[in-house]
A and B are shown apart, each in its own frame.
Chain A
Amino acid sequence: MNLKSQNLGDRSFSRHLVARQYQRKKRARILIAGLMLTSMVDMFSLLVIFLLQNFSASPELAVVAKGVTLPISATSRELKDAPVLAISRAGIFLDQKFIGSAEELLDRPEPLMKRLSQLREIWQRSHPQQEFPGEISLQADQSVSSAVVSRFMGMLPSQAFGSIQLAVVGAGGGKG
């Protein structure tokens, strides 16, 4: 191409540079806006596979009482549906209902016994042809003295709750 000086305007070259810079910027902006969909779909697929592997179809049977850190066990089994007796700093709870403080109940266990008896009667009324299984789940903080736990465990068989499930966390933190 033969460029003659009269064909070029006063500021034509600088305008050309500005236009080229603008076009470059525009192209760069388009590149940033584009999402890498393939890698995103890969990541989503991996997440779905991981979550499906950890998915548990069985419902959560026990709500861990507030302020209770359960001990860890490597030999735990599946928790069955049963009334929950929780021993925490705040007191003793049966099925999330406050029964009394630990000290009070160690001296006078009548409120706990009465409530356990009621639970047994309700079960027997709803299952008239079946033998009472006597299952109860016990949740206690791992730092509580074992003497306190054993004392309460000793009270339970008097109301026919002789099969006690000590609630623990599986050693893997996952499937117990």
Chain B
Amino acid sequence: MAVSVGGSSGSGRKKSLDAELNLVSFIDLLSMCICFLLMTAVWLEVGSLQVKQSHGTQAAAPKGQAHEVELSMQNSTALDWVIKKNGRLVEKQQLKAASIEELSQNLAQAMGAFVTAHSGDPATISSAMITTSSAVSYGDLIRVMDALRRNQIVNIGVVPANRDSAVAGVRAFRGGA
């Protein structure tokens, strides 16, 4: 970068020590940087939640000693959850709340309490299956999945709804437009 030292005209004069930066080229460079970064910026970061759906003919993965959770959402404020181990019932609870935020928070706490209570036993919950109804929105389903993933349950599946329930859901979605 060019730096000019002022006051050099007089031969016998003392040179000024005030250095002056050439700001014009500096501003040009910064403007170009800002334009490039603004044009290439990604403002909405799209992420993903992984769901494994198995086909009817595919063999089930070996379950070992881990527990499985079955969640049944009736609506956005109530759900039943059942914990099984090797097909045998271990725990069953019903959760109710005033809102989906509260419900997902209660679910995360209940899962955490189960793992803590069975800390001696290898109480890892390996997988979860979620059954929903047409009254539950997709956004609320994601919130419940979030609560499960916060408790290290990453192998999540969703039970496909029946045709009538899905058609009712489509009509409700169109009606809300």
- Which residues of chain A have a CB within 8 Å of any CB of chain B? 37, 40-41, 44-45, 47-48, 51-52, 54-56, 60-62, 64, 70-80, 89, 102-103, 106-107, 137, 140-151, 153-158, 160, 162-170, 172-176
Identify B55's interface contact among A72, A141, A157, CB under 8 A.
A157
Which residues of B have CB within 8 Å of A147? 132-134, 136, 161, 165-166, 168-169
The 0/1 profile, CB within 8 Å of A marked 1, for residues 136-177 of chain B is 111111110110011000000011111101111111111011
Residue in A closest to B50 when the chains form the complex, CB atoms: A165
CB <8 Å contact, B132 and A150: yes
In the complex, how many angstroms separate the beta carbon of A100 from the nearest chain B beta carbon? 12
CB <8 Å contact, B137 and A144: yes
Q: List 21 A-B contacts (CB under 8 A).
A: A47-B30, A52-B37, A54-B41, A55-B37, A56-B45, A78-B48, A89-B174, A89-B177, A107-B163, A141-B138, A145-B137, A145-B138, A146-B138, A146-B141, A148-B134, A153-B53, A156-B53, A162-B58, A169-B46, A172-B45, A176-B46
Residue in B closest to A55 when the chains form the complex, CB atoms: B37
Give A146 to B137 CA distance when docked, in angstroms: 5
Interface pairs A-B: 5 shortest CB-CB: A154-B160, A145-B169, A76-B47, A176-B47, A142-B139
On chain B, which size bracket covers the interface?
35 or more
Contact A142 to B138, CB < 8 A, known contacts A51-B34, A150-B160: yes
CB of B26 closer than 8 Å to a CB of A:
yes
CB of B51 closer than 8 Å to a CB of A:
yes
Which residues of A have CB within 8 Å of B162? 151
Which residues of B have CB within 8 Å of A149? 138, 141, 158
**Contacting residues of chain B (51-66) with chain A, CB-CB under 8 angstroms:** 51-55, 58
Most B C-beta atoms less than 10 A away, residue of A41, A47, A74, A151: A151
Identify A157's interface contact among B46, B54, B159, B173, CB under 8 A.
B54
Contact A148 to B37, CB < 8 A, known contacts A76-B47, A162-B55, A164-B53: no
CB <8 Å contact, B134 and A48: no
Which residues of B have CB within 8 Å of A150? 132, 158-161, 166
Residue in B closest to A148 when the chains form the complex, CB atoms: B169
CB <8 Å contact, B146 and A164: no
CB of B2 closer than 8 Å to a CB of A:
no
